[in-house]
Amino acid sequence: MIRRLLLAACAVLLAAGTAGPAAADDRDDMYKRLGVDAVGADYLFLIDVSGSMKPVFASLRAELTKFSASLQAGDRVSFVTFRDDVRPRAWVAARSPAAAREIRSLPAPAPARTDFHRALSWGMNYLANDATGAGRVATMVLLSDGDPWAPGAAECALPPDRQWAPVRTLAQRLGTSRQLNGYAVPLAIAGKSCPATTSLSILRKVVPDAESLPADAGLADYLAQAKQSARASTARLKLVSAGELKKTVTVTWPSGEASFDPSEKDLRVPVQLSTSGVAPVVVADLTGAMTLTVTDGDGTRPVQLTARQSPATVTVAPGTTTEVDLTATMPQPGGIHLIAETVTASGSLAMTARITSPWLDLAGGDLPSRFSSALTPAQAEISGTGQRGVPSIIWLVVLILVVAAIVFFAVRYLRSRPVMTGYLRVTARGSDGVDVRLQNRMKVRRDLGPGVLEVEGVRAAGGEVKLRVGWTPATGNRVPDKTLPRGGKVIFNSVTVTHRERKDDPVRSSPVPPPGR
């Protein structure tokens, strides 16, 4: 029976909570950053070695050996025996040969009185005055059949409550500085003398929230739960001592002052957030009420805006700066602004935000309800200057481009239509011919009676200037144009056109006589 009960105890003492994976990861990260991720545990076993324990003591010793070996590195055990007196034992590492020797050297049960008050008083004083136990989980385990018989008292009688009060007060005080757990292993022994008392009822005289280890539970799980509770308790103490119940989020500006561009429709005010201490904060729904006076080409007018945080939620770690934007829509005048104008704005910015501390939620207890926060400064002067419309430099660039385009196409046109020189002599059959002056002209058209002459300069592929000559007879359609090189001639049916470089030749304006005359 004792074997089954202790195996059950080995299941109960390590039960952990059922937080989701994400919450557990966040909590473990918090413990690590606070330096409470590795919490050692001290297990003080108060073992009844009165005569009534003799039937189960061999099994008890064997199970204690297994239990000690199942603990974690860094855990400590002390196996203290008692009858009508207490025999103290020092702390030893749980998983060590010393622990095995301590268990083997436990005295065998012998007929004697059983003084629970003395044993529990000694145990609580030992834990309370142990300077080496700071920050460690304190667990008191009472192993007994629960039959009291203190010296000077009747069998099955316990001391009055007033005698237990000092020990209970000591336990309460100890519980404020380190995690304290109490467990009773109910040993069902044949011939129990005091059915009205149990090891649990006696332990609760000192540790009111002590628990009994049921037969279907696991000791390892209960111990893990105790450690988790201890880490949370230690984390809460550290958070409180670090001033984390009151957090201040400081607002600064990347440029040194609150500023923005009032010419933009989508207004943006960069904001830097920072905090001190050891725990991060979450800043959400940062809102800025902006009261502005705006001056532009349309005059001066008041503007009221509400700017909102983007992104809407950020985490601000201590010692770091997190930047967010306050964004709003600035009313814009209608129409198209072709001429640049300066827009100025100035006024005040009043900010509010929702600030929470996720570590307080993870640590639990009443810390979240005690949390308060402040945003500083909550108000600031804000101003900005911007330009609306097309800047003058752009118009200058446009003008330069237009002039360049005009010059480009003019040069291109002039190169493709070069100025002609010299003159043309147009000779019909049987006539002396007529001179047509070309000097400094790009194109010439002359009605010569028998037809119309059209001449224009063209530039050949190699850059040479030639003449394109067209002839339209008075009595017919225009014949195909011909190219006339300088100093050359072309013939249209009975009309000959000859080019000569002569500047001073007189121009004969008499018409060319018809052919055959």
Length of the chain: 517
* CA distances, 277 to each of 50, 263, 283, 323, 479 (Å): 54, 40, 16, 19, 100
The C-alpha atoms of residue 222 and residue 306 are separated, in whole angstroms, by: 53
The token pair at 472 is 């339209």
For 202-240, letters b (16+ CB in 10 Å) and e give: bbbbbbeebbbbeeebbbbbbbbbbbbbbbbbbbbbbbe
Judged on CB neighbours under 10 Å (0-12, 13-18, 19+), 9 is: buried
Place of tokens 């905090």: 275
pLDDT value at position 226? Answer: 61
Query: Mean pLDDT in each 10-residue stretch from start to end of the chain (517 residues)?
Result: 46 38 76 81 92 86 83 88 93 92 92 91 94 86 86 84 93 86 78 83 92 60 65 83 92 89 89 94 95 88 93 93 93 69 91 94 88 93 83 72 84 74 83 82 85 86 82 85 86 86 51 44
Q: How many Å is the maximal CA-CA distance in the chain?
A: 174
d(CA 310, CA 484): 77
Tell me how far apart the alpha carbons of residues 31 and 37 are, in angstroms, rounded to a whole number. Answer: 5
Q: Kindly report the backbone phi and psi dihedral angles of residue 468, in degrees, each rounded to the nearest multiple of 5, phi listed first.
A: -100, 120
pTM summary value? 0.55
**pLDDT of 390:** 65
The reported pLDDT for the residue numbered 55 is 86
**pLDDT score at 286:** 95
The predicted structure's pLDDT at residue 514: 47
pLDDT for residue 214: 60
A 10 A CB-CB count for 169 gives: 12
Residue 428 class from Cβ within 10 Å (0-12 exposed, 13-18 middle, 19+ buried)?
buried
Q: So what's the pLDDT on residue 517?
A: 38
